[in-house]
Amino acid sequence: MDKQTKIFIAGHRGMVGSAIRRTLDQKGYQNLIIATSSELDLRDQQSVYTFFSSEKPEVVIDAAARVGGILANNDYPYQFLMENMQIQNNLIDASLQNDVSKFIFLGSSCIYPKLAAQPLKEEYLLTDSLEPTNEWYAIAKITGVKACQAIRKQFGKDYVSLMPTNLYGTHDNFDLNTSHVLPAMIRKFHEAKENGHVPVTLWGSGTPMREFLYVDDLAEAVAFVLDNLLPEYLYNVGTGEDLTIKQLAETIKNVVGHQGEIVWDSSKPDGTPRKLMDISKMHALGWRHQIELHEGIEKTYGWFLENQQHYKEVKL
């Protein structure tokens, strides 16, 4: 990819988008296009079409989405379904109409069936029922994957979808009502430590297994896709390694320095029993993650400490 290529990063202020922007800046890309949500509402079709007609990007990276954990997905199913479809449909169709040569669509491992065989292979898509607690978000993302596949099939364009495993890192969301499990744990253990190492209550049994990818590694995967013509429409991106939620909690507890008790509230839902990605296709192409979990958690906690003034303390 030419370093002068006009690349639009949708969602550049989020955890994923900001990591992609940093990575591409570091690699010498000099023509990155960005727009804040106040400048461009991606849910507004006409605004998106006008923006594309004016800016004429050659490549689009879709890192924009409404995201959240189990609680947020459960409480706002319509918004998670509709707003994500509006955002991605506007971006994908505007890209097609304006002859964008490469489109990178970022999704989530939740597109795969709840009880699919492990590790999750790309071909498992649409073979069984989804996890009910996040099916609204998953269905939206599946439509994005299929739209990009349809464009590849019908128009022969280089539109590819990357499905990352659970992401974490700097610029993550630490709001306890809407965050994912890892940043929520970081905040809970930190505030428990600050309050005299009081017990920390966590949702579920702690037995489900999860895989986590540091967000800068996903950004490197995006850069890899920019530089290569991938032969298929869908690729998993992850580490190929997982651990139990209990093991995750103990790791975060140790990094944070909390010395109190962990209480597991088994009345709360666990979600999918296991989600491990089969990343053999990306490995075969030459991409691999670089940042291991313990190092990534240290980096993320360090960023949280520098930015915790944005988060109000809660009663534990």
- Binding positions for substrate: 188, 203, 210, 270
Residue 168, strand partner residues: 214
DSSP 277: B
Edge-to-edge strands of the sheet including 102-106? Answer: 32-33, 7-10, 59-62, 102-106, 158-164, 234-237
Helix ranges restricted to H, the chain: 15-26, 45-55, 70-75, 77-97, 135-155, 181-194, 215-227, 245-256, 280-285, 293-307
| Structure token digits, residue 35 | 């727009």
Cα distance between residue 53 and residue 94, in whole Å: 9
Pairing outcome for strands 158-164 and 234-237: parallel
Binding-site residues for NADP(+) sit at: 11-17, 106-109, 141, 164-167, 180
137 is catalytic: yes
Binding-site residues sit at: 11-17, 106-109, 141, 164-167, 180, 188, 203, 210, 270
Check whether the bond before 119 is cis (ω within 30° of 0).
yes
137, 168, 233, 235: the catalytic one is 137
> CB within 8 A of 179, min separation 6: which ones?
68, 69, 172, 173, 187
Residue with tokens 């992850």: 238
The answer to whether 159 touches 102, Cβ cutoff 8 Å, is: yes
Active-site residue set: 137
